[in-house]
Amino acid sequence: MAITEKALSESFDNGFGTLGNAWNVDHSVKGEIKLAGHSGIMEWATGRDAGHGYGTYTVNAKVDGNQPGPGIVFWPGNDQWPGQEIDLLEVTPDGSGRQYGTVHWNEGGSDAYETRIFEGVESGVFHDYQMIWEPGRITFKVDGAEKGVITDHVPLDFASGGMNNTIGFLNNNHDTSLTVRHVEFTPLGETAPDSAPAFTPEFGPIILPAPEESVITPDVASHDGPVDWNAIAAQVMANYAATGSWHL
């Protein structure tokens, strides 16, 4: 399988676009997706090389509400947790509405983590959230301003002998929501493109533990009905076996 060090740029002008696997996510407004209540969208975490590695991750998004619920979550490529989860946005549980970033790791079978509070970042408006993942260093920025740096327990990416992470968005609170208008990934050492590159599905599909009442829309804009998650996964695996690429 090819290492997926490819740029990604998703504007949500065509439904879920490159992030085709979602449950309970609203894409009725062209150019954005909205997660409210219990909802999520994520690339498939199919193995250590799923998703993306070192580089710059930029997400234009808006949090509404001041409670935990919304998340910009980079999930471990191998879908194992506790593990290599990196969160570009969560909300503190103290009612202050403060936002923060986190690096998680597996410490002897238990979840361990380190956080950085994003001081002065307000909810209710769109911000550019950015994570720069480099060897030994993760930097969080909001609207171009550095909000925190973590240098301990920074994982190696797949190309360096470690594991990649998949891009995802979650919301699990009826009093909060997360609206996302743009997602971009630029591999380390490359310059962000001036215009969105054509999407290729190779960084492709997704997986997360499916919630009990999944409403998944895997086939991008073609249907919105409930879908059997296991059947989708089986089809993706079959396609991969037959063609060498992940697709539905």
List of residues contacting Ca ion (CB under 5 A) = 11-12, 31, 181-182
3-state secondary structure of 46: coil
The least distance separating Ca ion from the CB of residue 53, rounded to whole angstroms, comes to 24
In whole angstroms, what is the distance from residue 158 CA to residue 228 CA? 30
Closest CB 39 distance from Ca ion, rounded Å = 18
Find the shortest distance in angstroms from Cβ 124 to Ca ion: 18
State the nearest-atom distance from the C-beta of 89 to Ca ion, in Å. Answer: 17
Q: Which of the 8 DSSP states describes residue 240?
A: H
Distance CA 5, CA 223 (A): 30
Helix (H, G, I), strand (E, B) or coil at 12: coil
Of 25 and 154, which has the nearer Cβ to Ca ion? Answer: 25
Our CB check for Ca ion shows the closer of 14 and 172 to be: 14
Q: 182 vs 247, which CB is nearer to Ca ion?
A: 182
Count of C-beta atoms within a 10 Å radius of residue 171: 25
Q: Which of residues 12 and 129 has its CB atom nearest to Ca ion in the complex?
A: 12
The alpha carbon of 213 is separated from its chain's Cα centroid by a whole number of angstroms, namely: 21
In terms of Cβ atoms closer than 10 Å to its own Cβ (0-12, 13-18, 19+), residue 244 is: exposed
